[in-house]
A and B are shown apart, each in its own frame.
Chain A
Amino acid sequence: MIPQRIRVKLYAEDTSQTDVEPFVALFHGFIREARLPGLWIDVVDYGHVRRGPGALLVGHEADLSWDLLDGRPGLSYTRKRGEAPSLEQALRETLEHALEAAAAVEARSGLRLQRQGLSVTLIDRLRAPREPGRIEQLRLALGAAAEPLLGSRHASVDEVSPDDVATDRGDARAAVTLRL
């Protein structure tokens, strides 16, 4: 089964970029200028929430955020719906859209986003549960999806993170995150 929500996060090269306010304005501009494909609806400022979604561009097919959800600033593209014939294809499409959004953000903000060490989170506890067999399946699909986009050097899935978030415990309920 293909997970309903897939999130790809590209991390900022400058880790001090934690102020979300510039991204609120940037994302309003994206809506106004139809800068990215798809239907984009509104912008929410969650800058008051520590380790939160930051500046969130809400769309129909996907959301885009400059967030600190895992404690590190970066751009997240979250696929929310869409038809794809396979898991690999769904992952590839999500990576493509994330890279496209990253390029748009870089072009407007002057910031640089890393193309290595991306995190991919499968936010679907029904279709992507935290089970070893499933995670291996996801790992293979992600490697195959990433190679044409990131090159073989950055496409190996070298880490399965049970919980990268700095809580003081491992979290069995956390969504599955893989790192490229």
Chain B
Amino acid sequence: MTIQTWKQALTGRIASDLADEIDAFEGQIELKKQGRVGDKLFAETRLRRGAYGQRYDNGLRHDGTGQKTLTFPSGEITKGPGTFWDAPGMMRVKIPFGAVSPEQLEVLADLAEEYSDDILHVTTRQDIQLHFVHIEDTPDLMRRLGAVGITTREACGNAVRNVSACPYAGTCHTESFDVTPHAQALADFLLGHPDTQDFGRKFKAAFSGCADEPCGLTRFHDLGLVARERTQDGVAVRGFLVLVGGGLGAVPVQAKVLTEFCPEQELLPTAQALCRVFAQHGERESRARARLKFLVQKLGIEALRELVAQERSQLLEDPRWTAHLDAAPADPDPRSAPSPLAEPGSRAERSWQGTNVRTQAQDGYHVVSVSLPLGDFTAEQARGVADLGRRFSHEALRFTVEQNVVLRWVAGADVPALYAALDALGLGEDGADGLLDPTSCPGTDTCKLGIASSRGLAKELRRSLRVVADDLDPAVKRLRVKMSGCFNSCSQHHVADLGFLGVSRSVGGRRVPHFNLVLGGRYRDNGGAYGVVVGAVPARNAPEAVRLITNKYAAERQEDESLEAFVERLGKAAIRTLLAPISKPPPYEVDPSYYRDFGDPREYTLGDMGIGECAGELVPAVEFALSAAEQKLWGAQDELESGAAAGAAGNAYQAMLVAAAGLVRHLGGQVRDEPDEVVAAFRQHVYAPGHFHDPFAKDKFGRYLFSLHDSKAHEGASVETAHRILDEARLFLEAAYACTERLLEAGSQASASAETAIPSSGERA
């Protein structure tokens, strides 16, 4: 029989349950094409199998002259609400703790060539993403992965996402023990588990071998697990510090301690119990407040702890809880005998050894980081790296959250040959994980939520910094820089030394891509502190902002002072002063490049074109209000820095009110600066008609104001509460900017009609 399909070709090579699932998914695809499955159901079905949407999948694209319709051949068939069938999508492939064998990497390379655009993209959670994939190609893609033991199941959707872990686990000097078997066991155990199928939102778990280093980033995960050893009755006992309810996203929250020490035998049942609590008590109605962090906030950690303990006590015994502990530890089986690190053969290699090679806990072996620019490598390069894995490591390679790949167990004597081979593949760049190797989310390149081109900025930073790399202070070179295209923090910008998130501003009736600069983050301690926004600069000036700050840091830092400590000492006001000269774009007529995004020759938006003089008169009024609100929020941050939490929270609340009042007046409403009146007017004129609704976050940001106004949480706020209120105020303000732009685009300038005039009695709408 001639083999006609991948299903035939791979018969017997895929685990039967996975093969059945993929067949079922293929069946769903056929049913959807026949109109026999609803949009929402199919969307969640494909998301749970890793098939995600991509920018322009709604069939609309601005081509630089106006918004145009992309007429896909399949016509009106959709694969989710407002998502056309033929529109290319993203396929996320779960790679537990980023570990792939050479064979698996070769298959991923094949898939990138045959179904995607020749590029494998490493994500900030150790997955692989393939872009521009057609939905009808996904079943075969899944089968080919399944044949080498990889699944895309639950890579997206309201499920347990990829279990991440320190890529140095098992080789690290500072770890308590190797968390690899535990990470694998948790990933296997929770995949498809009945207790993880009914979440209101996604759930992310991460492992770290130690508390002090950054590698596991456990403090911003729903479930963070840090290896610990205790001595009981003279015997060393392994276990974990269990952290829960951490998260980044729009409002970053540090995880809380569920238990200081969970014995390793109890790890899986504890996770299972936590999942049950999340499924039963987590928010179901409001997607914006459905992550575990909100449940922890709502219940309090004590109550959550009790619920988890209660669930744990009722669980039926499961042999999988401890099966991995009985298995013999895997032999790393390195390719070569241990040997000292060989001398580099060139200046370039010396520099590369300095940044991309680290010693292992095992003498004579090294972990080698392969710098992948923006997390991208070609199929051909991936095959080359797989081959090098076989030749020099003989052990699984691991993707990192810095969007690189590491080879472990490389003997010191083999390092020069490995460097030469990497260089021949075009992968011999130095600077892994540091300033020359920025981390970026997909941003506007492919993400539907992107506001500014984070990848464009990352490319520009790489280009400009590599020119001066030899002159950079070593401490500056080590800084981590991360950029997100929006507030969702997919690059993990909150914990970077230098973080950026894309926003837009309206200047002279035109949109200008900007980046908010986030400083004060701490990567160490598994992401131990979150930075705050210190100012916004036009995207074009973001590289200059990096130059200004790093120059100042290099010149004025005290011995061994981190950038986080330096910023703290300097004060955010001084940083804003430093950035002030570059915080405004020149007029369009002077330099139109500011009005385009990095790497994109299209004008950032032309929606503002055709705005008449009337709009021109009104824009400054609302922008004035937004500017005043911005000032108040900066003041709030300064207060928080000085320890005045309640005052800071109060000022953040005031900033929201000022912005809200500005929008009300822009829409023709009359309102006095009384909080009740402003909130009521905002609700009636801005929120209720939907003006403030974000296309993706919906009404979330508006509700921040209502919630704060009703709860008065700013009064007597603790430091933690004040942090949250400031974060929410920042998002409210960004939403106010976006709202203003939408109103201007729609020509909804102040009409001052009788319908929009409001009584001044202060009564609520």
Residues of A that sit less than 8 Å from B by CB: 1, 4-5, 24-25, 28, 31-32, 39, 41-42, 44-53, 56, 58, 60, 63, 69, 80-81, 123-126, 165-169, 171, 173-175
CB distance from B104 to the nearest CB of A (A): 13
Contacting pair B376 A123 (CB below 8 A): no
Q: Is the CB of A168 within 8 A of B424?
A: yes
CB distance from A23 to the nearest CB of B (A): 11
Query: What are 9 residue pairs bridging A and B, where the CB atoms are less than 8 Å apart in the complex?
Result: A39-B70, A44-B117, A50-B426, A51-B380, A52-B378, A60-B72, A63-B132, A69-B118, A174-B380
Determine chain A's interface SS by DSSP, over half rule. loop
Residues A32 and B65 in contact, CB atoms below 8 Å apart: yes
A126 touches B378 (CB 8 A): no
In chain B, positions 360-386 with a C-beta closer than 8 Å to chain A are 373-374, 376-378, 380-381, 383-384
Q: Please name all residues of chain B whose beta carbon is closer than 8 Å to the beta carbon of A51 when the two chains form the complex.
A: 378, 380-381, 425-426
Inside 8 A of A4's CB, which chain B residues have their CB?
Answer: 114
Interface stretch of the complex, out of B56-64, B493-501, B686-694, B719-727:
B56-64
Chain B residues engaging chain A, CB cutoff 8 angstroms? 3-6, 9, 55-56, 61, 63-65, 70-73, 86-88, 106, 109-110, 113-114, 117-119, 132, 134, 373-374, 376-378, 380-381, 383-384, 387, 421, 424-427, 445-446, 456, 459, 462, 599-602
Once the chains are docked, how many angstroms separate the CA of A60 from the CA of B119?
A: 17
Does the CB pair A1–B4 fall under 8 Å?
yes
In the complex, what residues of B have CB within 8 A of residue A125's CB? Answer: 110, 114
In the complex, the answer to whether A69 meets B63 with C-beta atoms within 8 Å is no
A52 contacts B376, C-beta separation under 8 Å: yes
Contacts beyond the supplied A51-B380, A126-B3: 8 A-B pairs with Cβ under 8 Å: A24-B601, A44-B446, A45-B599, A48-B459, A49-B376, A53-B118, A63-B117, A168-B421
Are B377 and A49 closer than 8 Å at their CB atoms? yes
Question: How many Å lie between the Cα of A1 and that of B134 in the bound state?
Answer: 20
- Given A5-B114, A123-B114, A167-B425, verify A41-B376 contact (CB < 8 Å): no
Q: Are A174 and B119 in contact (CB under 8 A)?
A: no
Residue of A nearest to B136 (CB): A81
Say yes or no: A48-B374 contact (C-beta < 8 A), given A39-B71, A53-B119, A165-B380. yes
Q: How far is the CA of A7 from the CA of B425 in the complex (A)?
A: 22
CB distance from A66 to the nearest CB of B (A): 13
Among candidates B106, B383, B602, residue contacting A28 with C-beta atoms closer than 8 Å: B602
How many Å lie between the Cα of A80 and that of B115 in the bound state? Answer: 8
Q: Are B376's CB and A48's CB within 8 A?
A: yes
A136 to B72 CA separation, bound complex (whole angstroms): 37
The answer, among B64, B70, B383, for a CB contact under 8 Å with A167, is B383
Residues of A contacting B602 in the complex (Cβ-Cβ under 8 angstroms): 28
* B residues less than 8 Å from A50 (CB atoms): 426-427
Does A173 lie within 8 Å of B88, measured CB to CB? no
Complex Cα distance A44/B134, Å?
17
Q: How far is the CA of A123 from the CA of B379 in the complex (A)?
A: 12
CB distance from A144 to the nearest CB of B (A): 23
In the complex with contacts A48-B462, A60-B73, A123-B113, A42-B119 CB distance below 8 A: no
- Using Cβ atoms and an 8 Å threshold, which residues of chain B touch A1? 4
Q: Given A1-B4, A46-B119, A51-B378, A167 and B424 touching (CB < 8 A)?
A: yes
Closest Cβ–Cβ distance, residue B381 to chain A (whole Å): 7
CA distance A53 to B71 in the complex (A): 25
CA distance A146 to B456 in the complex (A): 40
The listed residue (A41, A80, A166, A167) touching B61 by CB distance below 8 A is A41
Complex contact A39–B72 (CB within 8 A): yes
- Check A173 against B73 for contact (C-beta < 8 Å): no
Asked if A46 contacts B376 (CB within 8 A), the reply is: yes
Q: How far apart are B639's CB and chain A's nearest CB, in angstroms?
A: 41
CB distance from A73 to the nearest CB of B (A): 14
Could you tell me the distance in whole angstroms from the C-beta of B377 to the nearest C-beta in chain A?
7
Given contacts A28-B63, A48-B376, contact A171 B88 (CB under 8 A): no
A5 to B379, CA, bound (A): 15
User: Which residues does chain B contribute within 8 Å of A42, judged by CB atoms?
Assistant: 55-56, 61
Smallest CB-CB separation from B380: which chain A residue? Answer: A165
